[in-house]
């Protein structure tokens, strides 16, 4: 029987209870390190004490800019123990983007590490950002490892906390309310600056509980592989799901398919959460995939078009392939497929809304409710909907109507309550008077065996007002011309859906884990006619 949700704890209380119930169980597993629930609690307390020692406490804002590591979670949880708000910062940000978040989020302290790789040099990045804006509250910079000038090294920082009475930490923790902001995620979108989404303790913990108790049904023996960055809800939610059950979360610094397969085999992974089709494809395309023992795998989650999901299911017949639909503003998850649903329903719907969440489909212009199966904008109401964007009253005025949150997503809800996702409403093209969802064209282009990733934008056209432009990333070793792709489309999709322009790319402009289509549009404008 599902537990009463009045038992929902804060994130800090969740960690305390998990350490008491599952102390010796592995909580986090990385390729070269692992930590138990008890060890995580002890380190989180030490880091919480250090935060208090420099004057932080309830309502303080702590930015975390690191690649995935155990220390990331220690600081994330430490902030919860003192009633502060953690701000996971996108590790892909450039200096100007970081400067914007440091100021917009009112960050008091930033913690980072000294790792330098082809992916990032966070110390240098922070220094460059501070040249643009320090933010009104930023006073402290902490670096794990050998610090650069201007940063306090982590050992020195921890030593500051030795004089703090642990009772002070407990006092802060028990004073936290469920509706108090715990984590602020920054979302990407069609605009240049991301929007801050404060998510309270109830949103996060209940979503983790819902995910476990109504969809995944974990126990202490489960091993949950979720390699996505910890600045993304697709990593944080699996962790909270695991904490509810005493299961272990497997992560890594960067997603590497060969290393991922070795971990999944060695740790006897039972649940995999690649989520994005490119990660899943990389696993399947790796030369070691067929040699890897994945017999313990019983569940796998991906978000992709039906044909790709069917392909993933066929590649891993021992695991139940499920999909999901979510967004940051609702704590990362709105709907998950139940494992008992039929394959066809798991391929073509994202499942029913999670317990405690209401959803309806309306005409985006009139806001009149649509009939079952009809497409329109999906509106949400319930505990998991955030209270509004940070310091953005004008955006909140647009985002909420009569207590319902306007997602901007084009969806449908069938007669059985299953949600279908059909793209972003703002990601709609109007080609000669015909409305076309970019997602529809993208899904078709992905059926070409040479196409690894496809993104479609609308670009101006003298005759049709707007036409489709496809940005294409090919599989390694594949070759194709624009003419080849256009010819592939002829006779298979309506002529007005066929891209009039094709651009081939090897890298994507990213914000959070989403591709910034406005940058693609800018690129098209700059290169048009060349």
Which residues have C-beta within 8 Å of that of residue 305, sequence separation ≥ 6? 442, 443, 446
Domain boundary among 149, 181, 198: 198
Give pLDDT, residue 513. Answer: 63
Is 86 a domain residue?
yes
Query: Could you tell me the CATH number of the domain that includes residue 127?
Result: 3.40.50.12780
Is 245 a domain residue?
no
CA distance 142 to 154: 6
Which residues have C-beta within 8 Å of that of residue 169, sequence separation ≥ 6? 45, 48, 49, 52, 81, 82
Number of domains in the chain: 2
Q: What is the pTM (predicted TM-score) of this model?
A: 0.86
Range(s) of the domain holding residue 437: 432-527
Instruction: Dump pLDDT digits (tens) for 10-40.
Output: 999 999 999 999 999 999 999 999 999 999 9
The torsion defined by the Cα of 357, 359, 364 and 366, in degrees rounded to 10, comes to -110
Is 85 a domain residue?
yes
CA distances from 169 to 14, 17, 75, 166, 239 (A): 15, 15, 14, 5, 23
Is 395 a domain residue?
no
Is 448 a domain residue?
yes
CA distances from 162 to 167, 170, 257 (A): 13, 15, 41
Is 342 a domain residue?
no
Give pLDDT, residue 530. Answer: 54
The torsion defined by the Cα of 265, 69, 282 and 524, in degrees rounded to 10, comes to 170
Work out the number of other CB atoms within 10 angstroms of the CB of residue 67: 19
Domain boundary among 157, 180, 198: 198
CA distance 413 to 339: 19
Is 484 a domain residue?
yes
Give the closest residue to 69 by CA, choosing from 101, 35, 46: 35
Contact criterion met (CB below 8 Å) for 232 and 326: no
Query: Could you tell me the CATH number of the domain that includes residue 499?
Result: 3.30.300.30
Is 63 a domain residue?
yes
pLDDT in tens, the chain (530 residues): 344 444 799 999 999 999 999 999 999 999 999 999 999 999 999 999 999 999 999 999 999 999 999 999 999 999 999 999 999 998 888 888 899 999 999 999 999 999 887 778 999 999 999 999 888 999 999 999 988 899 999 999 999 999 999 999 999 999 999 999 999 999 865 445 789 999 999 999 999 999 999 999 999 999 999 999 999 999 999 999 999 999 999 999 999 999 999 999 999 999 999 998 889 989 999 999 999 999 999 999 998 888 889 999 999 999 999 999 999 999 999 999 999 999 999 999 999 999 999 999 999 989 999 999 999 999 999 999 999 999 999 999 999 999 999 999 999 999 999 999 988 787 888 887 677 888 889 988 999 999 999 999 999 887 787 899 999 999 999 999 999 999 999 988 878 899 999 999 999 987 656 788 878 988 888 877 65
Give pLDDT, residue 266. Answer: 98
Domain boundary among 198, 229, 248: 198
Dump strand ranges (E) for 438-495. Answer: 451-461, 465-474
Work out the number of other CB atoms within 10 angstroms of the CB of residue 286: 16
Hey, is 476 helix, strand or coil? coil
Give pLDDT, residue 299. Answer: 98
Sign of CA dihedral 205, 208, 211, 216: negative
Find the distance separating the first CA and the last CA of the chain, reported in whole Å.
64
The encoded tokens of residue 262 equal 């070795």
Instruction: Dump pLDDT digits (tens) for 267-292.
Output: 999 999 999 888 998 999 999 999 99
């Amino acid at each position: 029987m599902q537990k009463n949700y009045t038992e929902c704890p804060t994130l800090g209380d969740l960690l305390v209870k998990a350490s008491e119930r599952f102390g010796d169980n592995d909580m986090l597993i990385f390729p070269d390190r692992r930590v138990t629930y008890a060890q995580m609690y002890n380190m989180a307390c030490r880091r919480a004490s250090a935060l208090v020692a420099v004057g932080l406490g309830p309502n303080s804002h702590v930015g975390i800019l690191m690649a995935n590591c155990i220390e990331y979670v220690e600081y994330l949880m430490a902030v919860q123990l003192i009633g502060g708000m953690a701000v996971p910062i996108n590790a892909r940000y450039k200096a100007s983007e970081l400067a914007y978040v440091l100021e917009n989020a009112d960050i008091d302290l930033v913690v980072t590490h000294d790792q330098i790789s082809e992916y990032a040099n966070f110390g240098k990045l922070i220094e460059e950002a501070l040249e643009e804006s320090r933010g009104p509250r930023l006073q402290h910079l902490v670096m794990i490892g050998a610090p650069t000038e201007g940063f306090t090294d982590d050992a020195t920082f921890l030593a500051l906390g030795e004089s703090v009475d642990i009772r002070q930490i407990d006092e802060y923790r028990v004073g936290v309310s469920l509706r108090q902001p715990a984590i602020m995620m920054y979302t990407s979108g069609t605009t240049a600056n991301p929007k801050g989404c404060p998510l309270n303790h109830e949103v996060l913990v209940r979503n983790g509980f819902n995910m476990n108790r109504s969809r995944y049904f974990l126990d202490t023996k489960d091993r949950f592989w979720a390699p996505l960055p910890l600045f993304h809800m697709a990593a944080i939610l699996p962790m909270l799901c695991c904490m509810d059950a005493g299961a272990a979360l497997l992560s890594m610094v960067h997603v590497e398919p060969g290393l991922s397969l070795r971990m999944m085999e060695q740790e006897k992974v039972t649940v995999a959460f690649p989520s994005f089709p490119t990660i899943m494809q990389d696993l399947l395309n790796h030369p070691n995939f067929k040699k890897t023992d994945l017999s313990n795998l019983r569940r796998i989650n991906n978000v992709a078009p039906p044909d790709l999901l069917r392909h993933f299911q066929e590649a891993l017949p021992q695991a139940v392939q499920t999909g999901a639909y979510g967004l940051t503003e609702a704590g990362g998850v709105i709907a998950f497929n139940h494992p008992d649903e039929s394959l066809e329903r798991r391929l073509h719907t994202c499942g029913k809304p999670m317990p405690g969440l209401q959803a309806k489909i309306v005409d985006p212009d009139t806001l009149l409710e649509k009939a079952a199966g009809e497409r329109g904008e999906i509106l949400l109401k319930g505990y998991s909907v955030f209270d509004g964007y940070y310091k953005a009253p004008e955006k909140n005025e647009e985002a909420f109507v009569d207590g319902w949150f306007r997602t901007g997503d084009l969806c449908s809800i069938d007669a059985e309550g299953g949600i279908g996702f059909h793209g972003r409403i703002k990601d709609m093209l109007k080609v000669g008077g015909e409305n076309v969802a970019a997602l529809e064209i993208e899904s078709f282009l992905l059926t070409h065996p040479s196409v690894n990733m496809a993104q479609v934008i609308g670009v101006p056209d003298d005759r049709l007002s707007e036409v489709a432009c496809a940005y294409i990333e090919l599989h390694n070793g594949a070759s194709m011309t624009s003419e080849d792709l256009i010819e592939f489309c002829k006779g298979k999709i309506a002529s007005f859906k066929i891209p009039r322009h094709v651009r081939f790319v090897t890298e994507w402009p990213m914000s959070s884990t989403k591709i910034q289509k406005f940058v693609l549009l800018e690129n098209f404008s700059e290169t048009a006619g060349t």
